[in-house]
Amino acid sequence: MKGFVLDTSVLFYGKDLPDGYELVISPGVVRELEREGMAQRLELLLATRIRVSSPSKRSLAKVESESQRTGDSTRLSETDKEILALALDLGYQLLTDDYSIQNLATVLGVPYRGFDQKGITKVLEWESKCGGCGKVFSAEVKECDVCGHPTRMRSRKGPRRA
Ligand SMILES: [Zn+2]
């Protein structure tokens, strides 16, 4: 095992990135971080530790078909599917706490590791807001428990979006 593929939330929390391994993210993760005002931190990470790579069409197609088969497809974002496909391409381990990503990783035979929530000190700086009804959740919640819409992460300190 030579490296890890990281999901967006791992970089939001930004703690305890595995030492001594290659760390890879997908273009979708870059876009999500930029959208959340993390461009500066991202630049630093890209300059020092992390490389961006796109998954093959073949792996993306496999992820898509397997996710439809397991029923995870609607719970997974395009970015989630990208990082699954990337881990498949590279033979790297996925670092993610997302249950749907972990579920599909198991199906695809992609090894994964959860992120140690206890070590997180910055979690309160982030929250999620439902795109449907507007209910606010803690940062790791990706789907609204009231109306089922996907949530968006935002900074609690930064400018609020409507
Ligand atoms: Zn909702």
Question: How much is the pLDDT for 121?
Answer: 38
User: Is 51:90 a contact under the CB 8 Å cutoff?
Assistant: no
Q: Does the global pTM surpass 0.85?
A: no
Span 98-140, pLDDT tens digits: 888 888 898 899 998 887 554 333 333 567 889 899 999 887 7
β pairing state of 126-130 and 136-138: antiparallel
User: Is 7:80 a contact under the CB 8 Å cutoff?
Assistant: yes
If phi > 0 it is left, if psi is from -120 to 50 it is alpha, else beta; for residue 18 that is beta
- What's the residue count for the chain? 162
Distance 146 CA to ligand 1 centre (A): 5
Distance 53 CA to ligand 1 centre (A): 33
Distance 150 CA to ligand 1 centre (A): 8
User: How would CATH label the architecture of 3-117?
Assistant: 3-Layer(aba) Sandwich (3.40)
Domain ranges in the chain are: 3-117, 122-155
- Each residue's pLDDT, cut to its tens digit, for the chain (162 residues) gives 589 999 988 887 765 677 788 999 999 999 998 888 888 888 888 888 899 999 999 999 999 999 998 888 888 999 999 999 999 999 999 998 888 888 889 889 999 888 755 433 333 356 788 989 999 988 778 899 999 999 887 766 544 444
Distance 10 CA to ligand 1 centre (A): 24
Distance 34 CA to ligand 1 centre (A): 24
